[in-house]
Structure 1
Amino acid sequence: MSDAVDPTVPPSGPGCVECEAANGWWFHLRRCSACGHIGCCDDSLARHAAAHWRESGHPIIRSFEPGEDWFWNYETNEYYDGPELAPPESHPPEQTVPGPSERLPKDWMAQLQRRGD
């Protein structure tokens, strides 16, 4: 599991890589602990963090939300005790959740609820 976490790699940016490319939005963000890829969480519409795990084989993520420092292992479906990672530890605190605010549809809550059905 040592190759699943590289504490020297910085995050790929302040938002979900794929959502940014598609001019989309996300609910919460997750950081790949192996390569720094930032993806949206499983409560987001696109679930890019989990897709990154399936495509890359990198199973360990860390929350990329301000004030959160937990890790998750997709392979074992359990929390993981990980090290401190290269900064920054979260998206900028002024970035809205969900976000980014300028791209949120008016019915974002309904969209998330429909996705959960």
Structure 2
Amino acid sequence: MSESDACLRTFQKELSAGTVSLALLAVLAQADAPLYDYLIAKRLERLGGVLSGKQSALYPVLRNLDGAGLPHSHVEPSASGPPRRYYRITQTGRDCLRDGSATWRAPRDSVDAVLEGTH
């Protein structure tokens, strides 16, 4: 692996750390009903490829968010397999999404301005 590849992988890892949480909360906020992990992953992929084919990355993020009380979760039996854990965003999660979105936009806009100046 070249130094450039290693740098890119490090950058991608650092960048995706918070963006998955923010995107996940946004998907839950837009949902009309609770969603289970597979449906959340499919929506994230369809809306912008946030997971980039790494659905397993979703589970620790969901657990962390659930532990922080940002979504509420419950388990329901499934007719086609094991029980499923469903998630619905809480008011605290909505507040976090609002604040996180504002926190995301400021550096994004600054970096976009710098990048546009380099072309």
Q: Shared topology, TM-score over 0.5? A: no
Task: Give TM-score, length-normalised by structure 1.
Answer: 0.28
Per residue, is there more helix in 1 or in 2? 2
